[in-house]
Every structure is written in structure tokens, then in C-alpha cells.
Amino acid sequence: MTAPLDALSPVRAELLRAARASADAVGDRARADAEESLRSARAAAEAVLAQARDLGRADGAAEAARERVRAVQDAWAAELAARAEVYAALRASVRAGVRKAFAEDASLQSRCAEAARELLGPQARVTAASGGGVTAEVPGRRVDLSADALADRALDRLGVLAETLWEPA
């Protein structure tokens, strides 16, 4: 019985060799497929990372632009506040100067009363204003020639010339 077994040995050896060759081929294909999958995954990861970098740059640029706009707005608000402060100080100074002029020159009061009567007529009711000057009224009309009103009108007449207050010298 050993003879028939020996006759199958070459067949078994060939089947074993073919099975090993097939297994090696399957393993080689599996390794190649795994390497290709890995290359593809790495390429996809690189693409996602590049896209994330681009989006990050775009988001950063947008945020930087928003921050620049906020900075410009803050600077403008600070400048406007400073201008308002300077203008308010100027207005207070001019008002004080006009009040002082009324206090030092009594004829100004009577000249304002005359001007009020010229504007509204002799029937105008003229009242002395605190701080100097007068107010006058007739039915339906009123004129304010008080020291503060005169000072305010003088400043208002400056118009755009007031802008020179905060221009560099």
C-alpha cells in the first residue's frame, strides 16, 4: 500500500505548490490593495488638510478684516468724542466770554432790548435773561438775544470752519 501513496505524492506536492502560489498571489494582491488604499487615504487626508488650511486662512483673513473695521470704528468714535469734547469746551468758553462782556458793559443789555423791539415791534414784551441779554415775545413770535443764545449762534455761524479746531496745525 505504500506504493499507491507514493504515486499521489507528486500530485499532492503539485496541489500544495499551487495552493501556496495561489496564497502568495492573494497575499501579494492584498498587500498591493492595502498599499493603494493607504496611498489613497493619505492623499485624501492631505486634500482635507489643505482644504482646512485654506478655510482657516480665509476665516483668519475675514476675522482680521472684521477686527480692522472694529479698530477703525473705535478710532472714529474716539475722535468724534474728542471733537465733541473740544467743541463743548469752546462753546462753554465763548458763552463765558459773552456773559462777561454783558457783565462789564451795561449798554449791551439795552442794545439787545432795542434790537428785540426792532425785530418784533414796539409792543414786544422784553425780559432780561440770566447771564446777560434779553428775550422778547409777541403773540406767535419769540426772539432770544440772551448771552448764551448769542454765543451759540456765533459758533453755529462758524459752520465748517469749526473743523479747523481739530486739524493739525
The mean per-residue pLDDT over the stretch 87-108 comes to 93
pLDDT higher than 50, residue 1: no
What percent of the chain has a predicted confidence (pLDDT) above 70? 96
139 contacts 121 by C-beta, under 8 angstroms? no
Helix (H, G, I), strand (E, B) or coil at 168: coil
pLDDT tens, position by position, 104-125: 998 999 999 999 999 999 999 9
Mean pLDDT for the chain?
89
Instruction: Identify the pLDDT of residue 16.
Output: 81
> Tell me, what's the pLDDT at 37?
87
Write out the three cell numbers for 21: 502560489
What pLDDT does residue 13 have?
Answer: 84
Which of 109, 116, 110 shows the shortest CA–CA distance to 147? 109
What pLDDT, in 10s, does the model give residues 24-81? Answer: 888 889 898 889 988 988 988 898 889 989 888 988 999 999 999 999 999 999 988 9
Rounded Cα gap, residues 14 and 59, in angstroms = 66
The residues, any chain, with a CB within 8 Å of residue 46's CB and separated by 6 or more, are: none
- Per-residue pLDDT, averaged over 123-141, amounts to 95
- Is the pLDDT at 165 greater than 90? The verdict is no
